[in-house]
Amino acid sequence: MSIDLDYDQQHLWHPYTSSINPLPCYPVSSAEGCEIILEDGTRLVDGMASWWACIHGYKVPELDQAAAHQLGNMSHVMFGGLTHKPAVELAKKLVALTPPSLEQVFISDSGSVAVEVALKMALQFWHAKGEKRAKFATIRNGYHGDTFGAMSVCDPDGGMHQLYQGFLPEHLFCEAPQTRFEETWDPADIKPMQKMLEQHHQSIAAVILEPVVQGAGGMRIYHPQYLKELRKLCDQYQLLLIADEIATGFGRTGKLFACEHAEIEPDILCLGKGLTGGYMSLAATITSKSVANTICSGEAGVFMHGPTFMGNPLACAVANASIDLLIASDWQTKVATIEQSLKTQLKQCLSLESVTDVRVLGAIGVVETKQAVNLADIQAKFVELGVWIRPFGKLIYIMPPYTISASQLQKLTDAIYKVLTSL
Ligand code: PMP
């Protein structure tokens, strides 16, 4: 039986869509390799890796096997008072792969929750130290998720702050870094942050940002020196630094974690998306022993969070297989090859009247247009050309699975050029 699209339109909410006037959805029957297969048999080359997550592509034998094996043992068991091999293995892997100071792992169920957990860690840290600090500092154009705490540190001009005014806590924002990744560092770039921290450091619990690549808040790629300077400022004012690597983690920017571009260690690191190779929802918030133990020496004596699906064994087992697969692969070469191709192939878009900018880092390619695109129209054109690319606003961007072939990648970039010439 085919997918009931009428029922979908009438009863299902899709991300950021209207129930009155929903945009069309394409019915998917399966996905394999780097292709999404529609119900009518159309095969679309995937340019999105399902929002940064499916780094190895779809129907990956190693991940399928890990899931099947774990199903044979248990798919879930509560994490309060119980533990299991998949979670312990995952913690070992994450502690080994992330900067040396990060040793205490909180496994949760989604990226937004991982951010909530990070913010709560920072608040409890200061509470335990006997200081009331309830402000977070961040840069504009950020995106950290859709739950309330995460929303409160997203770009304030993105619509959500106004909509939820009075309910969202108000935090501190400064201009985002302007120096591009490949440009010469401009020391003036850190000044807005420096000024903000100088003025407000006594009320700030932590600084939170996406290192090097700002995703949903504008697909901006900035100079890593900004992070070096920020780390120095956080040390100077003894502020915690939270790196949200939910989108950038697991090799996407050409380094395993984007903080490595700046050789800095955050105090709290958030991971998600690619953690399970995009198989299921899982996230982790990792901090140092010193932060964790300070939190737990406070009045509460514990860290106050514990979701039902914490440490879900099925998701942890797949995450373990995904990390093993990534580390055993030559992902650096794959991502570097994608980067080179994106740079050469997307450059031609710059000659188009409708385009203002092209930027590439690792396996991320962005084409910015002068005017916002009509999503339904452009989506249909992409599907006609046999690719899956979902732009937002003025941004047509791709971050394909690392396993994409040269010809599949060419198909994606050709489609972008072709569609843009028709605008
Ligand atoms: N942080 C960043 C940087 C993200 O890109 C996202 C998701 N787009 C999130 C947090 C939230 O993750 P999730 O959608 O899994 O809640």
Q: What is the pLDDT of residues 108-147, one digit of tens each?
A: 999 999 999 999 999 999 999 999 999 999 999 999 999 9
Q: Which atom of ligand 1 is nearest to the CA of 283?
A: 15
Ligand 1 pocket test, pick from 144, 151, 270, 275 with the greatest ligand atom count within 8 Å of Cβ, gives 144
> In angstroms, rounded to a whole number, what is the distance separating the alpha carbons of residues 31 and 56?
12
> Residue 200: pLDDT above 90?
yes
364 lines ligand 1 (CB under 6 A): no
- Interhelix angle 61-73/313-328, rounded to 10 degrees, is 150
- Active-site residue 273, yes or no? yes
Q: What are the pLDDT digits (tens) for 146-193?
A: 999 999 999 998 767 788 888 899 999 999 999 999 999 999 999 999
Query: Which of these is catalytic: 155, 244, 279, 397?
Result: 244
Q: Residue 243: which pLDDT band, with cuts at 50, 70 and 90?
A: very high
Domains and CATH numbers, the chain: 5-59+330-421 (3.90.1150.10), 73-328 (3.40.640.10)
Cα distances (Å, whole numbers) of residue 104 to 19, 193, 291, 295: 42, 28, 9, 12
285 lines ligand 1 (CB under 6 A): no
212 lines ligand 1 (CB under 6 A): no
| Residue 362 token pair | 């690792």
Mean pLDDT, rounded, of the chain:
97
Query: Which of these is catalytic: 93, 120, 143, 397?
Result: 143
Four-residue CA torsion sign, 351, 353, 358, 363: negative
Query: What is the structure's pLDDT at 160?
Result: 79
Q: What are the pLDDT digits (tens) for 77-89?
A: 999 999 999 999 9
Residue in 328, 313, 395, 233 with CA at minimum distance from that of residue 66 = 313
Q: What are phi and psi of 23, to 5 degrees?
A: -75, 155
Rg of the chain over all Cα atoms, to the nearest angstrom: 21
> In angstroms, rounded to a whole number, what is the distance separating the alpha carbons of residues 155 and 160?
9
Q: List % helix, strand, coil for the chain (3-state, nearest 5).
A: 40, 20, 40
115 lines ligand 1 (CB under 6 A): yes
Residue in 286, 268, 300 with CA at minimum distance from that of residue 129 = 300
Say how many Å lie between the CA of residue 247 and the centre of ligand 1. 7
Pairing label, strands 102-108, 283-288 = antiparallel
155 lines ligand 1 (CB under 6 A): no
Query: What residue's CA is closest to ligand 1, atom 14?
Result: 111
278 lines ligand 1 (CB under 6 A): no
Residue in 274, 264, 248, 272 with CA at minimum distance from that of residue 207 = 264
